[in-house]
Amino acid sequence: MRKKETISSLQGAKGKRKLTMITAYDALFASLFAEEADMILVGDSLNMSFGGKADTLSVTLEQMIYHTGAVCNGAPQTFVVCDMPFGSTNSEEEALANATRVFQQTPADAVKIEGGAERADIVRRLVHNGIAVMGHVGLLPQSVRGEGGYRVKGRDEKSFQKVLEDAAAIEDAGAFSIVIEGVTPELGALVTQELSIPVIGIGAGAQTDGQVLVWSDMLGFFEAFKPKFVKQYLNGARLVKEAVSQYAEEVRQGIFPAEEHCYR
Ligand code: KIV
């Protein structure tokens, strides 16, 4: 069994080995990912791929706590990060109370907070109170309605500078690591070079310190759409449909259950 990562081992990896993070929402899949993933993220993306919703905004803190507990049960030897849901970190007080609940009610190792410089004081407050925080800058899925869509950052000078400033502010506030999403590869590379903490990319090019993907995207289970940055390592949906179709056919034809499935 591999040794569990810690904040210092993750930070020590910068420039030496690439870090892998994958999302999981339940104990079963978390246990399947545990051997290879340095970190598991209980992402609020579960609201879409697990909950069938159009975006991440309606997931609740209670739901995130439930799924984080399940993931920690399935992968007790893996560093687990719980995504703080939309609306749960609007003020320092609220963020501290809600992140404290995550730490009290689950064994998660860290929380993740979406947002840039405007969130730096909130991150600082949590870190000062013993809560490890992973930042999340660039394209912010929780801002999809506020920005009128998923907007890639770094294609223009203004958003390029803003993401650079955001990343620096979140590092300065004490985040142990940062996710950078939906930016040009040049911006992903520059943020990785400027920061001394690990920068984990998703749709941010190949030069970041590590990568994160949503499990149902990378294993081909989520069929609604496939973002450009996703590589499918499995056609999960096809395999599941074929297996279920075979099961249904065998039940209809009386092939299943066979003798070996019967009690004597
Ligand atoms: O919710 C999530 O899965 C995430 C990743 C996209 C980084 O935040």
Catalytic position from the list 36, 181, 223, 250: 181
DSSP tag of 84: P
* Per-residue pLDDT tens digits of the chain, which is 264 residues long: 889 999 999 999 999 999 999 999 999 999 999 999 999 999 999 999 889 999 999 999 999 999 999 999 999 999 999 999 999 999 999 999 999 999 999 999 999 999 999 999 999 999 999 999 999 999 999 999 999 999 999 999 999 999 999 999 999 999 999 999 999 999 999 999 999 999 999 999 999 999 999 999 999 998 888 889 999 999 999 999 999 999 999 999 999 999 999 999
Domains in the chain, please, with CATH?
A: 7-233 (3.20.20.60), 236-264 (no CATH)
- C-alpha 214 – ligand 1 centre gap (Å): 7
Report d(CA 200, CA 24) in Å as an integer: 16
Query: Can you give the pTM of this predicted structure?
Result: 0.97
Which residues, 6 or more positions from 75, have their beta carbon under 8 angstroms from its beta carbon? 24, 27, 30, 31, 33, 34, 37, 40
Q: At CA 84, angle to CA 73 and CA 79, rounded to 5? A: 40
Ligand 1 is surrounded, with C-beta below 6 A, by 23, 41, 43-45, 83, 179, 181, 202, 212, 214
